[in-house]
Amino acid sequence: MSYDHQQIEKKWQNFWYTSNIFKANDDPNDKKEKMYILDMFPYPSGAGLHVGHPEGYTATDIISRYKRMNGYNVLHPMGWDAFGLPAENYAIKTKIHPDKSTHDNIKTFTKQIKSLGFSYDWDREIATCDADYYKWTQWWFLFLYKNGLAYKKQAPVNYCESCKTVLANEQVVDGKCERCKNDVLPKNLNQWFFKITDFIDDNDKTSGLLNGLEKIDWPESTKISQKNWIGRSEGINFKHKVKDLNIEFEVYDSVPQTFLAQTFVIIAPEHPMVKELVKGTEYEKKVMGFVDKVKHKKAIGRFNIENDMEGIFTGRYSENYMGTGRDLPIWVASFALMDYGTGIVGCSAHDERDFAFAKKYNIDLKPVMFPKDQLEAEKIKNLEYCYCKDPEGVMELPEKFKGRKWGEVRNDIINYIVEKDFGRKNINYKMRDWLVSRQRYWGAPIPIIYCESCGEVPVPEKDLPVLLPTDVDFMPTGESPLLKSKTFHDVKCPKCGSEKAKRESDTMDTFVCSSWYFWRFIDPRNLKEFAGKDLMKTWGNVDLYVGGAEHTVLHLLYARFFCKVLHKYGYIDYDEPFQKLRHQGMILGEDNEKMSKSRGNVINPDQIVEKFGADSLRLYEMFMGPFKDVKPWSSKSLEGIYRFLNRVWKLSENIPLDKGGLGDSLEQLRHFTIKKVTQDIENFDFNTAISQMMIYSNAMQDALNAPLIKGVGGIYLEDIETLTLLLSPFAPHITEEIWHEFLGNKETIQNTPWPKFDENKSQKKEIELVIQINGKLRGKLICSPDISKDDALKQAKELDEIKKYLDGHELKKEIFVHGKLVSLVI
RNA sequence: GCCGAAGUGGCGGAAUUGGUAGACGCGCACGACUCAAAAUCGUGUGGAGGCAACUCCAUGAGGGUUCGAUUCCCUCCUUCGGCACCA
């Protein structure tokens, strides 16, 4: 009987999916320890499943099956991140309604994913575009709204003319739309925001988005990215007063050590104060003209600090700077940012940009920190280059800190500034509040009603969901398609009953839908709550979350924010949603390039499954290399894996009736293999786990061949059983078949306990002790791993190949590493 | 520019509390089986030299620490990913 993967895989998938063996047990009295293992749910694109999807899904499936075999109650669900632009763009092109194309795509994805034999609890399947899901997305909006965490404000937003939509900052790349690559223009619109910035730092109950990172098992690089994205900085807001005008303002500086070096002030062109400064003066016309010019440049996304560092003097001064008697000229500068700090900056010789700006416009500079080296210090005095942020730099001013190092005075100077009342401590973040409004159709409607007399009114919870209307035209016009619906827009005010009320016509960013889906999996059919409190308690947070590194900041930050909100309001007792996170590396085409239709290097998983089977695909993707690394596809290596499975099949088919001739010849290797595979699964080292199973099966083949050659040997049934069990999470179909057909078991292998190893038996009885002379390998000694130093040295020196090196040389040093080597220095 | 990840045979990759570099797989070569091929099985396979035993070289480059470095330290180069004026 040969290995017929098509028949075997169909057979066992049928069995698994009809017998419900992957169902997670919700019973709180279940004795088994719970384990929530989650994949980042996919966007069901029209292109179908990509070979990148099964990489992560196989890893979580291996862990899920492995954990079940170790007695855990595993929750391993799958669903669809189904709202989003592509379906809508597809509708614009083909006139096919997004609801239809999305559900068609979901069908395809489901079929493809099921063909890979993943052990999902399919009863919990969800799709974010279904009304019984987005009803709760809307609930979330109201929940945030009621707690003051959702608010509306006029804001300049990124607007893409071509996509006719507002984009989040994150969707703008190099001033261009991430999707269509066209220029992004700013436009003022009334938009909804979520107050994510309220959760950056800890509050009295909940750890913040920064400190929360300390207690979770995530890749360090991902944590660093999130920290950089948040961009927290502590500094000082300095007090300034405009000379001859009754205007006071503040200037933020996160590096306040060199504050006395400041010789001029710059203000962002968009700042409302600019107008006041120049009003009625001879400067007014020129300055306002400059402001318009810069605004335009920024609007078309052509601003570049290298080429566009420009400024203009306002004719005004900041009076008597920090009591020094100096008045600092105030300039409008193209590179001053309106939305960071106060929009006004104090400038000095100790900042690269300020320095360049001052040089360009001949503004006075006054360094207050110098290098130790006298010659270099002289250069700084002569302003030959910009000297900044050198921890070894020696302070000159303020007088009180003269001679101290820049790197050591920060806190003292901050205290000094506060004491002298020059300014106050302040914190700034690069991250802004989360803009969630989208002028799009294929998303969850924002549940707000605008009444002529009551104003902004939240939709009462009992009226949820606010259904997406079907009578719309998707063609983009710059306004939300929902405005085109006759049935949707007009509504009675829930508060006063007035007929003169209209619905909010924007939908929510799809990241809102994906910020809470992992709770819905816990209780997916609940009609009263987004998830029941008891069940949320039973399952706790996600134990293991696996997905691509492209979600390092956005999705993972937003989901953490939602979790912190739930924690703050007492819904859950944890404040981090994903305890352990791992990213899979991208799979490249055989040509080492990113897979794309245009390059023609796309591998279709369906074809692989048909020709080599799901088990081969799964095993191959895990064997390619380290899980987190980027790695190219290789059809030949895939065939190698297929051959391996065929060898395992034949090996199992030929189980000897007799238990073998030479005793338990593979005992040590068996125990070592169990140990290695177990540890490697825990560590996500799937590639080396598979190598070890190959070594084990090769050794079994050798043992089987042995009697033919020498008349001795043979393998134990236990070896076949062990290999089958170890391989089962990786290649579940073939192992299930072997388990039943060749090994005669009646129960599914999925419920069989994971093999145990004996540490002592996993150790080699005999080792090769390496003998080095002057660090070079010169000989080997076969001995027990427990050999003593004295014995090892004595025996090593007696070896012929060692003797010849030692003769006539003085022995200077002898090194012995237990169980490893002897090193002799002559 | 800043941050992050990584550079090992013909290829994917193993090996790090510093201890035999190249496990495992692919590819390739030779052999067995076959009329032949495919499949399968077996043997070999980093480079240079030598009949051989063996010797030398080799983990992006150059230094350093060490009896010993792919692993630790310094300088530099390259590739990939992310962020871009955050004062």
pLDDT confidence bin for A709, thresholds 50/70/90: very low
Residue A334, CA: closest nucleotide via C1'?
Answer: B85
Residue A782 CA, nucleotide B20 C1', distance (Å): 13
A478 or A577, higher pLDDT: A577
Residue A659 CA, nucleotide B38 C1', distance (Å): 35
- Rounded to the nearest 10 degrees, the angle between the axes of helix A635-653 and helix A717-727 is 140
Query: Is the C-beta of residue A227 closer than 7 Å to nucleic acid chain B?
Result: no
DSSP-assigned letters across all residues of A366-404: ---EE-SSHHHHHHHHTT-S-----TTPEE-SSGGGTT-
Q: What is the pLDDT of residue A167?
A: 65
Query: Is the C-beta of residue A778 closer than 7 Å to nucleic acid chain B?
Result: yes
CA distance A139 to A447: 8
Model confidence at A716: pLDDT above 90 = no
Percent pLDDT > 70 in chain A is: 95
**pLDDT per residue as tens digits for the range A563-608:** 999 999 999 999 999 999 999 999 999 999 899 888 889 999 999 9
Residue A70 CA, nucleotide B63 C1', distance (Å): 51
Among candidate residues A533, A406, A542, the one with its CA nearest the CA of residue A38: A542
Residue A644, CA: closest nucleotide via C1'?
Answer: B25
DSSP-assigned letters across all residues of A79-115: -B---SHHHHHHHHHH---HHHHHHHHHHHHHHHHHT
Mark residues 639-678 of chain A whose C-beta is closer than 7 A to nucleic acid strand B: 639-641, 643-644, 646-647
Query: Is the C-beta of residue A427 closer than 7 Å to nucleic acid chain B?
Result: no
Which of A130-134, A301-305, A673-677, A709-713 has the least mean pLDDT? A709-713
Model confidence at A558: pLDDT above 60 = yes
**pLDDT per residue as tens digits for the range A442-468:** 999 999 999 999 999 999 999 999 999
Mark residues 743-772 of chain A whose C-beta is closer than 7 A to nucleic acid strand B: 767-768, 770, 772
Query: Is the C-beta of residue A632 closer than 7 Å to nucleic acid chain B?
Result: yes
Please count the other Cβ atoms lying within 10 Å of the Cβ belonging to residue A140. 24
Q: What is the pLDDT of residue A12?
A: 98
Residues 6 or more apart whose CB falls under 8 angstroms from that of A446 comprise A138, A141, A192, A436, A437, A504, A506, A507, A508
Q: Which helix (H) or strand (E) holds A193?
A: strand A184-194
CA distance A697 to A514: 43
**pLDDT per residue as tens digits for the range A288-303:** 999 998 887 776 666 7
Among candidate residues A759, A758, A779, the one with its CA nearest the CA of residue A770: A779
CB distance A52 to A624 below 8 Å: no
Residue A9 CA, nucleotide B10 C1', distance (Å): 36
Residue A637 CA, nucleotide B45 C1', distance (Å): 18
Please count the other Cβ atoms lying within 10 Å of the Cβ belonging to residue A499. 10
Q: What is the 3-state secondary structure (H, E, C) of A696-741?
A: HHHHHHHHHHHHHHHCCCCCCHHHHHHHHHHHCCCCHHHHHHHHHH
What value does the mean pLDDT of chain A take? Answer: 91
Q: How far is CA A740 from CA A190, A397, A486, in A?
A: 64, 83, 61
Model confidence at A178: pLDDT above 70 = no
Query: Is the C-beta of residue A300 closer than 7 Å to nucleic acid chain B?
Result: no
Query: Is the C-beta of residue A710 closer than 7 Å to nucleic acid chain B?
Result: no
Query: Is the C-beta of residue A805 closer than 7 Å to nucleic acid chain B?
Result: no
CB distance A802 to A771 below 8 Å: yes
Query: Is the C-beta of residue A186 closer than 7 Å to nucleic acid chain B?
Result: no
Residue A552 CA, nucleotide B42 C1', distance (Å): 50
Measured to protein CB atoms, the chain B nucleotides within 7 Å are 3-6, 11-15, 19-21, 23-27, 39-42, 54-56, 67-69, 80-87
Residue A267 CA, nucleotide B62 C1', distance (Å): 48
Residues 6 or more apart whose CB falls under 8 angstroms from that of A540 comprise A34, A36, A574
Query: Is the C-beta of residue A705 closer than 7 Å to nucleic acid chain B?
Result: yes
Q: What is the pLDDT of residue A476?
A: 62
CA distance A214 to A397: 38
Average pLDDT over residues A403-420: 93
Residue A372 CA, nucleotide B76 C1', distance (Å): 27
Query: Is the C-beta of residue A182 closer than 7 Å to nucleic acid chain B?
Result: no
CA distance A445 to A463: 13
Tell me the CA end-to-end span of chain A in Å, nearest whole number: 63
A435 alpha-carbon distance from chain centroid: 20
Location of structure tokens 């390496």: A770
Mark residues 372-401 of chain A whose C-beta is closer than 7 A to nucleic acid strand B: none
* Backbone phi and psi for residue A184, each to the nearest 5 degrees, phi listed first: -105, 130
CA distance A729 to A44: 26
**pLDDT per residue as tens digits for the range A530-545:** 999 999 999 999 999 9
Residue A628 CA, nucleotide B12 C1', distance (Å): 14
Residue A284 CA, nucleotide B51 C1', distance (Å): 96
Sequence letter at residue A40 = M
Among candidate residues A510, A516, A508, A520, the one with its CA nearest the CA of residue A567: A516
DSSP annotation of A547: E
Residue A411 CA, nucleotide B83 C1', distance (Å): 28
* Backbone phi and psi for residue A437, each to the nearest 5 degrees, phi listed first: -75, 135
Q: What is the pLDDT of residue A401?
A: 94
Q: What is the pLDDT of residue A372?
A: 86
- C-alpha triplet A172, A176, A178: angle, nearest 5°: 55
Percent pLDDT > 90 in chain A is: 71
* The pair of three-digit structure tokens given for residue A510, joined into one six-digit string: 């799809």
Mark residues 116-155 of chain A whose C-beta is closer than 7 A to nucleic acid strand B: none
CB distance A76 to A58 below 8 Å: no
Q: What is the 3-state secondary structure (H, E, C) of A644-676?
A: HHHHHHHHHHCCCCCCCCCCCCCHHHHHHHHHH
Q: What is the pLDDT of residue A712?
A: 44
CA atoms within 13 A on the CB side of A595: 21
Residue A623 CA, nucleotide B13 C1', distance (Å): 9
Query: Is the C-beta of residue A197 closer than 7 Å to nucleic acid chain B?
Result: no
pLDDT confidence bin for A494, thresholds 50/70/90: very high
Q: What is the pLDDT of residue A805?
A: 80
Q: Which helix (H) or strand (E) holds A12?
A: helix A5-19
DSSP-assigned letters across all residues of A118-183: ----GGG--BTTSHHHHHHHHHHHHHHHHTT-EEEEEEEEEEETTTTEEE-GGGEETTEETTT--B
Residue A339, CA: closest nucleotide via C1'?
Answer: B86
Residue A669 CA, nucleotide B49 C1', distance (Å): 39
Mark residues 154-173 of chain A whose C-beta is closer than 7 A to nucleic acid strand B: 169-170, 173
* The pair of three-digit structure tokens given for residue A764, joined into one six-digit string: 């080699």
pLDDT confidence bin for A225, thresholds 50/70/90: very high
Among candidate residues A387, A313, A376, the one with its CA nearest the CA of residue A352: A387
Among candidate residues A623, A587, A580, the one with its CA nearest the CA of residue A605: A587
Residue A255, CA: closest nucleotide via C1'?
Answer: B87
Q: What is the pLDDT of residue A711?
A: 42
Residues 6 or more apart whose CB falls under 8 angstroms from that of A694 comprise A644
Residue A196 CA, nucleotide B77 C1', distance (Å): 42
Query: Is the C-beta of residue A688 closer than 7 Å to nucleic acid chain B?
Result: yes
Query: Is the C-beta of residue A702 closer than 7 Å to nucleic acid chain B?
Result: yes
Model confidence at A666: pLDDT above 90 = no
Among candidate residues A556, A547, A682, the one with its CA nearest the CA of residue A628: A547
Average pLDDT over residues A415-442: 94
Mark residues 241-260 of chain A whose C-beta is closer than 7 A to nucleic acid strand B: 252-255
Location of structure tokens 């009551």: A454
Query: Is the C-beta of residue A341 closer than 7 Å to nucleic acid chain B?
Result: yes
- C-alpha triplet A609, A610, A615: angle, nearest 5°: 35
Among candidate residues A78, A55, A62, the one with its CA nearest the CA of residue A603: A55
